[in-house]
Amino acid sequence: MKTKLLVAGTVMAGLALSGCAIQNKTATSEYGIDAKVSALSVTTKGGNIEVVPGDGTGAHVTEKIRYADDKPRTEHSVRDGRLTLTAPSCHDCGVNYTVSVPRGTTLTLDTEGGNITVRQIDGAMAARTGGGNVSVTDTAPKSLSARTDGGNIEATLTRPPSSVDTETGGGNITVHLPRGTYAVEATTSGGRTDVSVPTDPDSPHHVRARTSGGNLTISP
């Protein structure tokens, strides 16, 4: 694996609050991955994840790090085509990732509290956030799995998927699908359900949406 380090910077700002000095520190790092990337895994404990299409067969990564004391050490590696990005678990830091990858890349994205945004990536994807929102726009994945404990999920797909599986603890779920017939399972404990796509339980295109208290919308 060859990694190109492009930019790295650190900014510090002191803030006085109730007689105590609080250090708000940030750092930004950008690097390119020359190796061919066919799968991406990102794990961050307190930041956002954004994935967009890039040029070529490699990847480009931007890390935006926030911390109070010691700067957290992030890690990245490529093995058998899978790019793995990992931020450590800490109470006083967070790492936001913006990653550009080939359009067909398989995605596995996990953040404890941030938002997940994916645009124009057509590989199978699984996204989980502890408390943020999940937004998937203009994609054509064969399968999509999205989970959030309390945020909203919104997906706009450009090709009928084999499966969409979405679940949120308390937010809304909105899924926009292309023309076709779908086997739909939509369940909400306290919200409104609006399914306006043609349905057929024998369809090969399965859509499952569950929320404990939000609204469900499955529409063209």
| pLDDT number for residue 7 | 42
Nearest to 187 by CA among 209, 215, 165: 209
Residue 220 and residue 214: Cα distance in Å, rounded? 20
Nearest to 13 by CA among 74, 92, 66, 73: 66
Query: What's the sign of the alpha-carbon dihedral 99, 104, 105, 107?
Result: positive
Residue 187 and residue 192: Cα distance in Å, rounded? 9
- From first to last of its 220 residues, the chain has per-residue pLDDT tens of 445 444 444 444 333 333 333 438 899 999 999 999 999 999 998 799 999 999 999 999 999 998 888 888 899 999 999 999 999 877 788 899 999 999 999 999 999 889 999 999 999 999 999 989 999 999 999 999 999 998 999 999 999 999 999 999 989 999 999 999 999 999 998 899 999 999 999 999 999 999 988 999 999 9
Per-domain residue ranges of the chain: 1-104, 115-220
Residue 164 and residue 117: Cα distance in Å, rounded? 16
